Amino acid sequence: MIAIIKGDIIASRKLRDTERWLTPLKNLLAKWGSTPRDWEMVWGDFFQLEIDAPEEALRRIFEIKALIKSIKPTDRRRKISPIDVRMAIGIGEKTYSGPRISESNGPAFIYAGEQFEALKRENVNISIKSPWVTFDEEINLYLKLAGTFMDNWSVSSAELIQIVLNNERITQEEIGRKLGIKQNSVSGRWNRANVEEIRAVEEMFRKKIKTHFV
């Protein structure tokens, strides 16, 4: 069993400063594997990522989301909305391994593709599909609720989430030193970013995944 993430940058064709998000996203994906076998960017704004350990999938999703939301597009000629990303997770078997991820196949790829197509219809930016219907129903409810604040992360909230995801045991005092702000300011950002809720959803996801692999 593997996990496949399929995603794209929302309304990317309206953005003039593509390199502001494209290079950081490629650098992040490169931390998790080699292209084009493990991940691939196509059409300029669409990407796929294969994850050998499905329990890591949601953390990867949150890291990508935080990265993209931390990038503020700059275009002085017109007002544009903050950049965002849409992603679907497919969990299942891999029945064929090609030299490129786009050539590989199996239920995990099919589930990710089907769920990615459903994102616009369901008006959500993150969702999952697996062989386990009740698992999908529960996790997708959590993700829909989490989306109510993740989609509205400010640049500063997303920056804080990035630090927390990459430093699991970091304290608010240490975050303050990294960001050059006071501890009480960190506390405010922490609450606005809903850090504890993100951690709870990710922990529950791992717990539920493990029950299906026992």
pLDDT single digits (tens) 115-171: 999 998 999 999 999 999 999 999 999 999 999 999 999 999 999 999 999 988 888
Q: What interhelical angle do 195-212 and 133-150 show, nearest 10?
A: 170
Q: How far is CA 20 from CA 6, 16, 24, in A?
A: 20, 9, 7
Above pLDDT 90, what percent of the chain?
A: 74
Quick one: CA dihedral 89, 93, 96, 100, positive or negative? Answer: positive
Please measure the distance between the N-terminal and C-terminal CA atoms of the chain and give it in whole angstroms. 13
Query: Which pLDDT does position 19 carry in this prediction?
Result: 79
Tell me the average pLDDT across 3-23: 83
| Distance between CA atoms of residues 30 and 135, nearest Å | 29
Query: Which pLDDT does position 27 carry in this prediction?
Result: 95
Above pLDDT 70, what percent of the chain?
A: 93
Torsion angle, alpha carbons of 189, 165, 167, 30, to 10: -130
> Residues 196, 101: contact at Cβ < 8 Å?
no
Query: Which pLDDT does position 168 carry in this prediction?
Result: 83
Q: What is the mean pLDDT of the chain?
A: 91
Query: Which pLDDT does position 35 carry in this prediction?
Result: 94
Respond yes or no on whether the N-terminal peptide bond of residue 24 is cis (omega within 30° of 0).
no
Residue 175 has pLDDT above 80, yes or no: yes
| Distance between CA atoms of residues 108 and 102, nearest Å | 12
pLDDT band, very low/low/confident/very high, at 59 (cuts 50, 70, 90)? very high
